[in-house]
Amino acid sequence: MNKKTFLLLITTISALGGLLFGYDTGVINGAQFYLSKYFELDATLKGWVVGSALLGCFIGAIVAGPISINIGRKRSLIISAILFSVSAWGSGLPEVVPETVTMLVIFRIIGGLGIGIASMNAPMYIAEIAPSKIRGKMVTYYQLAIVVGFFVVFLATYFIGNNLSEAENIQFGWRRMFWSELIPSLLFLALLFLVPKSPRWLAIKGEEEQALHILNKIHGEKQAKHEIEEIKASLKKDETKENVNYFSKAILAIIFIGTALSILQQFTGINAVLYYGADIFEKALGFGKEDVLAQQILLALVNLVFTFVAMFTIDKYGRKPLLYVGSIGMIVGFLLLGISLQLEAVGLISLIGVLIFIGSFALSMGPVVWVILSEMFPNKIRSVAMSVAVAAQWAANYLVSQTFPIVMESEVNNNTFWNGSIPYFIFIGFILIIIFLTYKFIPETKGKSLEEIESFWQ
């Protein structure tokens, strides 16, 4: 197997963690309508069942750092694949098992733990194996997998639900929707045994010969020797500083910048649009139930197409230019949506606004944040720092998903002046902060080795 094929293979396998992230996020959206009727859930319990996985994601991201340091990126991903599989099986327990809402929530949290661990380890692992000149594209495979997972599960749940009566869906259709996740999760688990350990993790653990062997297979002998020397120099520099002090001003500043960028990815409003897309189309944009499916497919398609655009431009133009262009596009999209709502001129312009926002996010904050987070932290603190940044992102995700419906239904938002547009103007405010943060604090990492990026902070 040549170097290019080997790199593509292990990147694709690692990125399947993202596919399961997208799949698990989407499967609850397809199943919740029927399981809510099966369990006769009120609004509070429904919110708890749907949002419980995010609690698992938050905890998973926190523990992912120590786990990754001690047993490595590869074994961490194997643990996440096992958790995905247990969650998929348990969430769809057959009717003969006396499943309760509590049991369902427990299995959803277990799945969330898997997402949290994978969302931190998968992009970091890809960044640590990829050549610097194509690292952006390689890490973007993770975001592409998330988008593909969301799209595939949408089609899968629609196919399952459409071939059963409503009574059958309420009784067992939603169980099949959860069980459908077993196919990608077990495939992910099996394929992970084909990928090597991270060479940078091996070097940190003193396994330099094994690290060099893996780098040879990825980069070739000459580049591998250069890479291992850079890694050794970086680690030697860290050894002179004794133990890492995570509360030193310099390290806290790096972690704070990465965490702020990670949180702002959610404060763009992306998951408010994805999680509540059907509600937005039906209520805010005036589309009927029969149109919602087509609109959701359109969202998923735009998301997919512009993720591909990001993949093929991120290493050519750089990370910061994509963040600037995408941020401007997101602002334009939400301005079109917000103003059309304010003026009660809901229609094609509103839909175009949503699609411009989705495309701009998929071009920028979607993939670029994962790329920058996987690159920007020094070797010695990468696991812990990324764990903090990803955990904060899941907390922000939960905050946005819980507050969005509250703001949408508030009296102020629904008065004759705002007409339901307030959330989108709030999101615009956060996107302006992204532009400032990118300009002031985010380094351009295009084409630089991880060790070269590390020197930027010194």
- The string of pLDDT tens digits covering residues 46-85 is 778 877 888 999 999 999 999 999 999 999 999 999 999 9
Q: 307: exposed, middle or buried (C-beta count within 10 Å: 0-12, 13-18, 19+)?
A: buried
Q: What's the pLDDT band for 277 if we cut at 50, 70, 90? A: low
Over 60: is that where the pLDDT of 357 sits?
yes
Q: Which two tokens stand for residue 400?
A: 């946005």
| Residues 365-375 pLDDT 10s | 999 999 999 99
Range name among 18-22, 44-48, 132-136, 161-165 with the lowest pLDDT average: 44-48
Last residue of a domain, one of 195, 228, 255: 195
Q: Are residue 28 and residue 155 in the same domain, yes or no?
A: yes
Whether the CB-CB separation of 404 and 276 falls below 8 Å is answered with: yes
Are residue 57 and residue 184 in the same domain, yes or no? yes
User: Is the domain of 188 the same as that of 283?
Assistant: no
pLDDT digits (tens, 9 = 90+) for 142-194: 999 998 998 888 788 878 888 888 888 888 889 999 999 999 999 999 999 99
3-state SS assignment for residue 446: coil
Identify the burial level of 445 via C-beta atoms within 10 angstroms of its C-beta, where 0-12 means exposed, 13-18 middle and 19 or more buried: buried
Distance of CA 29 to the CA centre of its chain: 16
- pTM of the model as a whole: 0.85
Q: State which of 195, 212, 227 marks the end of a domain.
A: 195
CA distance 27 to 7: 30
Is 175 within a domain? yes
Residue 200 lies in a domain: no
Q: At what angle do helices 135-162 and 101-129 cross, to 10 degrees?
A: 150
d(CA 205, CA 200): 9
Query: In angstroms, rounded to a whole number, what is the distance separating the alpha carbons of residues 445 and 458?
Result: 15
Residue 404 lies in a domain: yes
Q: What number is the average pLDDT over the span 345-357?
A: 87
275 is in which domain, residue-wise? 246-458
Are 261 and 160 in the same domain? no
Q: Are 54 and 181 in contact (CB under 8 A)?
A: no
Whether 238 maps to a domain, the answer reads no
What 8-state DSSP symbol labels residue 283?
I
Residue 111 belongs to a domain: yes
Beta carbons within 10 angstroms of residue 278's beta carbon: 16
Do residues 187 and 251 both lie within one domain? no
% pLDDT > 70, the chain: 91
Measured distance CA(127)–CA(150) in Å, rounded = 23
Q: Which of 81, 61, 110, 85 is nearest to 194 (CA)?
A: 81
Is residue 221 situated within a structural domain? no
Domain count, the chain: 2
Do residues 179 and 99 share a domain?
A: yes
With a CB cutoff of 8 Å and minimum separation 6, the contacts of 445 are 136, 319, 371, 372, 375, 376, 453
Do residue 161 and residue 14 come from a single domain? Answer: yes
Is residue 163 domain-shared with residue 276, that is, in the same domain? no
Which of 130, 160, 195 finishes a domain?
Answer: 195
Same domain for 277 and 171, yes or no, is: no
Q: Please check whether residue 201 lies inside any domain of the structure.
A: no
DSSP H or E segment with residue 166 = helix 166-168
Same domain? For 161 and 308 the reply is: no
Task: Supply 404's token pair.
Answer: 């969005």
Kindly state whether residue 206 falls inside one of the protein's structural domains.
no
Same-domain status, 56 and 155: yes
Mean pLDDT value of segment 17-40: 85
Q: What is the CATH number of the domain that holds 296?
A: 1.20.1250.20
pLDDT computed for residue 219 by the predictor = 85
The residue among 282 and 93 whose pLDDT is bigger is 93
Tell whether 175 and 266 lie within a shared domain: no
Q: What is the residue-wise DSSP string for 305-354? A: HHHHHHHTTHHHH-HHHHHHHHHHHHHHHHHHHHHHHHTT--SHHHHHHH
